């Protein structure tokens, strides 16, 4: 059973960089065919895909966030990370890490999610 | 960006009744359409992909249909555990989500 757990600061100041890490257990992030995603949900709102990193280390970002986003992986720790720069109050959201690729190889089809972590942007 | 529009925003139904949820895409997504269920305080769960294929472990009372720009999720006989928010998601071009339909009693 794959499990994902987000970790990182719950409060970030405006203009600073939001940094989150997802620790994966029960499976290797370098296993072929899987994609490791970050998705966020603004309070009381819908879902927004941020980006993902493939099992081979390729990254793909939402065009609307691309200029501020970096996703990276540390295979030795079986973790992948999100950095979002120049944050504002509009970046306040629950951030989920997730695994895709199990269904028909589509990266966007998620079979495992983390529990989510609320990140607030405020001074 | 492909915009996904769901209707209605809220659907009031009774246990045992049939629920029909709609999703429209701003341009064709072929059959690259998924449905997700989210309960309060939980992460979403994949129900349907490829517009009509149930994900692993999803009960047969959930069914999906449609292609192109018009899609439907049907819950044939609502159980108490089905009251939740449902999102459609296109994965034809990157991925975008609808704003959700809340199914309530």
Note the pLDDT tens digit of each residue in A82-100. Answer: 999 999 999 999 999 999 9
CA–CA dist B82, A60 (Å, integer): 33
| Three-state helix/strand/coil letters over B19-83 | EEEEEEECCCCCCCEEEEEECCCCCCEEEEECCCEECCCCCCCEEEEEECCEEEEEECCCCHHHC
Summarised one tens digit per residue, pLDDT across range B79-98 is 999 999 999 999 999 899 99
Res A108: pLDDT: 86
Side by side, the strands of the sheet bearing B4-7 are: B4-7, B19-25, B70-75, B62-67
Supply the mean pLDDT for chain B.
96
Q: Which residue of B lies nearest to A107 if distances are taken between CA atoms?
A: B91
**A106–B91 CB contact, under 8 Å:** yes
Q: Does residue A43 sit in helix, strand or coil?
A: coil
Res A31: pLDDT: 81
Summarised one tens digit per residue, pLDDT across range B41-93 is 999 999 999 999 999 999 999 999 999 999 999 999 999 999 999 999 999 99
**A49–B46 CB contact, under 8 Å:** no
Contacts of A105 in chain B (CB under 8 A): none
Can the peptide bond before residue A62 be classed as cis, meaning omega within 30 degrees of 0?
A: no
**B56–A111 CB contact, under 8 Å:** yes
Through-space distance between the first and last CA atoms of chain A, rounded to whole angstroms:
39
Res B39: pLDDT: 95
Name, in order, each residue with C-beta under 8 angstroms of A25's C-beta and a sequence gap of 6 or more: A2, A3, A4, A5, A78
Half-sphere exposure of B88 (CA within 13 A, CB side): 37
Instruction: Tell me, yes or no, if A64 comes closer than 8 A to chain B by beta carbon.
Output: yes
**A110–B46 CB contact, under 8 Å:** yes
| Phi, psi values for residue B82, rounded to 5° | -90, -5
| pLDDT confidence band for A107 (50 / 70 / 90) | confident
CA–CA dist A61, A14 (Å, integer): 22
Res A83: pLDDT: 98
Give the one of B43, B46, B97 whose C-beta lies nearest to A115's C-beta. B43
Residue A107 C-alpha from the chain's centroid:
13
Res A114: pLDDT: 96
Instruction: Tell me, yes or no, if A66 comes closer than 8 A to chain B by beta carbon.
Output: no
Name, in order, each residue with C-beta under 8 angstroms of B94's C-beta and a sequence gap of 6 or more: A49, A60, A62, A63, A108, B1
**B91–A108 CB contact, under 8 Å:** yes
**B98–A49 CB contact, under 8 Å:** no
CA–CA dist A88, B58 (Å, integer): 38
**Contact present, B84 and A87 (Cβ < 8 Å):** no
Res A121: pLDDT: 97
Q: Is the pLDDT of residue A65 over 90?
A: yes
């Amino acid at each position: 059973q794959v499990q994902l757990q987000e970790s990182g600061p719950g409060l970030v100041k405006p203009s600073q960089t939001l940094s989150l890490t997802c620790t994966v257990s029960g499976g290797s992030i370098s296993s072929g065919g899987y994609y490791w995603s970050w998705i966020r949900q603004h309070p009381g709102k819908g879902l927004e895909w941020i980006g993902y990193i493939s099992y081979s280390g390729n990254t793909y970002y939402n065009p609307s966030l691309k200029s501020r986003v970096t996703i990276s992986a540390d295979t030795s720790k079986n973790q992948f990370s999100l950095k979002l720069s120049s944050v504002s109050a509009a970046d306040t959201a629950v951030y989920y890490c997730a695994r895709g690729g199990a269904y028909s190889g589509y990266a966007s089809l998620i079979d495992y999610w983390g529990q989510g972590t609320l990140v607030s942007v405020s001074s | 960006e492909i915009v996904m529009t769901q209707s209605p925003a809220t659907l009031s139904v009774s246990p045992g009744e049939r629920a029909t949820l709609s999703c429209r895409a701003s341009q064709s997504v072929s059959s690259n359409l998924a449905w997700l269920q989210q309960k309060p305080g939980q992460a979403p769960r994949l129900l349907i992909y490829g517009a009509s294929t149930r994900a692993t472990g999803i009960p047969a009372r959930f069914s999906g249909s449609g292609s192109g720009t018009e899609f439907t999720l049907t819950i044939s006989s609502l159980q108490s555990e089905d009251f939740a928010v449902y999102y459609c998601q296109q994965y034809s071009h990157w991925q975008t989500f609808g704003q959700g339909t809340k199914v309530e009693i």
